[in-house]
Amino acid sequence: MSGDKSYMNKHLWELDQELFKIIQDEKSRQKEGLEMIASENYTSLSVMECLGSCLSNKYSEGLPNARYYGGNEFIDKIETLAQKRSLATFSLDATEWGVNVQPYSGSPANFAVYTGIVEPHGRIMGLDLPDGGHLTHGFYTPQKKVSATAMFFEPLPYKVDPQSGLIDYDQLAQSARLFRPRLIIAGISCYSRVLDYKRFKQIADDCGAYLMADMSHVSGLVAAKVIPSPFDYCDIVTTTTHKTLRGPRSGVIFFRKGVRLVKPTGEKVLYDLENRINAAVFPGLQGGPHNHQIAGIALCMAQAQTEEFKNYQQQVVKNAQALCKKLQEHGYNISAGGTDVHLILVNLKSVGLSGGKAEFILDEVNIACNKNTVPGDASALNPSGIRLGTPALTTRGMKEQDLYKVADFIDSTVKLGLEIQKKSGPKLVDFKKVALEDFKDKIEKLKNEVKEFALRFPLPGHDNY
């Protein structure tokens, strides 16, 4: 790392070949593989340019025009622009909705909401993680409070019907009347149907709870008006910006302003969410916001208002439905019977291959997905399904016929997994060993087919890093 000029002005590839090579390897992996993790996407070159800009240098604790440090004239303009564009992207009136664009990501955004409006050990209700909810919606097991959400607050999960795979709203209503939560969370991590926000609102009103939507997975679909909007019924909406929105890895919180309800006496009760949520983000949970991310939010929110973005979101859903249809034709059981959104949950119980084995063998042939619980699973550590998403593949330009081919690749890989399992037995450690030792040639053949197919579709961003 020696040289005749300071490392402060050298390119990464000049300065650290070891690190740069690893980054290049990751770029090659992305080019040569099929990225089907539903929470992942490729961001734009322009967002990457925001993330690598001088904005990383600046501290700006506080809100625009109310900072704890000087020198924030232009940072204030960027954050105000991000706020304005975030509201516009979801067609929100600034007199009725406010927004905080400082959360570092989705999990901190959710925790800030709980911190702001739910007292310690206050009650919350979210979709159970094994049924398609997210860790931050209050996941715990009989042995352990897994998420900090469950450590500091008192969660009671609601469930899906094990037969249909659909949220059991009647059971949720009954539980909420008994539990009396402070907050109900309408949000998903692996649930392939649109949420009934109107029903959620009725349930929340019946027990006096706030209603929060975590639309992190589907915010791009909401922005493009491909699926129903949570803003019509919810008090608070959180989202990440790096999934279907194709922005930076960051988080946003929207909150209602104005009149919350009118008492029988005619007295108006106003929302008091703005100050509480803003104070929870800073100074409650975070220090200085990441200004390079906030610039990326401003940019991706502008991009989300374009016709190109709307067409992309429509194609994301078409591709997910095409993938679903083809896998069903191959005989796979799709949880909830299909999809309205960007993902599907494949139940492999009838196939006889665990989610962990399916994830491993798919990864070996350059198809990235994640093992996932399906309704009725006893343990999140040994799930029976895999979650597949189409946002990243659609960003690369794939259409329905391409997803049919992807489904064929998945089917061939799962069948190869079953062949391996016959020889290895049930244990995952043995499965991996036998796969890599005795089925190397078959894996390599399928991997090369996937690679050849994937390389037909370009990635946005820098060419080789």
Residue 337 belongs to some domain of the structure: yes
- pLDDT higher than 70, residue 2: no
- Across 233-244, average pLDDT: 98
What is the pLDDT at residue 377?
85
- Across 79-105, average pLDDT: 98
348 and 235 in a single domain? The answer is no
Q: Last residue of some domain: 268, 289, 304?
A: 304
289 and 316 in a single domain? The answer is no
User: 378 or 37: whose pLDDT is higher?
Assistant: 37
What is the pLDDT at residue 20?
98
283 and 357 in a single domain? The answer is no
For residue 118 the two structure tokens come to 């739910």
Check which CATH number belongs to the domain holding 178 and give it: 3.40.640.10
What is the pLDDT at residue 408?
98
What is the pLDDT at residue 381?
79
Residue 154's φ and ψ, nearest 5 degrees, are -110, 100
Query: According to DSSP H, which parts of 266-373 are helical?
Result: 273-279, 291-303, 307-329, 355-364
- Across 128-145, average pLDDT: 93
168 and 224 in a single domain? The answer is yes
- Across 118-136, average pLDDT: 95
- Name the pLDDT band for 4 (thresholds 50, 70, 90): low
Number of domains in the chain: 2
429 and 290 in a single domain? The answer is no
Residue pLDDT, tens place only, 331-352: 999 999 999 999 999 999 999 9
- pLDDT higher than 90, residue 1: no
DSSP of 119-171, one letter per residue? -TT-EEE-B-GGGT--GGGT---SS---SHHHHHSEE--B-B-TTT-SB-HHH
- Across 128-132, average pLDDT: 92
Contacts of 131 (CB under 8 A, 6+ apart): 157, 159, 160, 191, 373, 375
Three-state DSSP at 427 gives coil
114 and 59 in a single domain? The answer is yes
What is the pLDDT at residue 303?
98
3-state DSSP helix/strand/coil percent for the chain, to nearest 5?
50, 15, 40
Residue 314 belongs to some domain of the structure: yes
Active site residue 242: yes
329 and 423 in a single domain? The answer is yes
Q: Last residue of some domain: 304, 339, 372?
A: 304
Pick from 356, 372, 344, 367: which is nearest to 431 by CA? 356
Pick from 161, 114, 116: which is nearest to 135 by CA? 114
255 and 348 in a single domain? The answer is no
369 and 390 in a single domain? The answer is yes
Q: Does the CA dihedral 161-233-241-115 come out positive or negative?
A: negative
Residue 288 belongs to some domain of the structure: yes
Active site residue 190: yes
335 and 265 in a single domain? The answer is no
What is the pLDDT at residue 261?
87
What is the pLDDT at residue 26?
98
- pLDDT higher than 90, residue 88: yes
134, 137, 190, 300: the catalytic one is: 190
Residue pLDDT, tens place only, 242-255: 999 999 999 999 99
233 and 313 in a single domain? The answer is no
- Across 221-248, average pLDDT: 98
Residue 356 belongs to some domain of the structure: yes
What residues make up the domain containing 146?
54-304
- pLDDT higher than 70, residue 3: no
First to last CA, the chain: 20
- CA 327, CA 333: separation in Å to the nearest integer? 8
Mean pLDDT of the chain: 96
- Beta bridge partners, 270, equal 259
Q: Last residue of some domain: 257, 288, 304?
A: 304
311 and 278 in a single domain? The answer is no
134, 137, 242, 292: the catalytic one is: 242
Residue 184 belongs to some domain of the structure: yes
Residue pLDDT, tens place only, 355-389: 999 999 999 999 999 999 998 888 777 899 999 99
Radius of gyration of the chain (CA): 23
- Name the pLDDT band for 55 (thresholds 50, 70, 90): very high
Residue 365 belongs to some domain of the structure: yes
Residue 42 belongs to some domain of the structure: no
Residue 34 belongs to some domain of the structure: no
Residue pLDDT, tens place only, 291-307: 999 999 999 999 999 99
Residue pLDDT, tens place only, 401-429: 999 999 999 999 999 999 999 999 999 99
- pLDDT higher than 80, residue 231: yes
Pick from 423, 416, 407, 402: which is nearest to 360 by CA? 416
Check which CATH number belongs to the domain holding 352 and give it: 3.90.1150.10
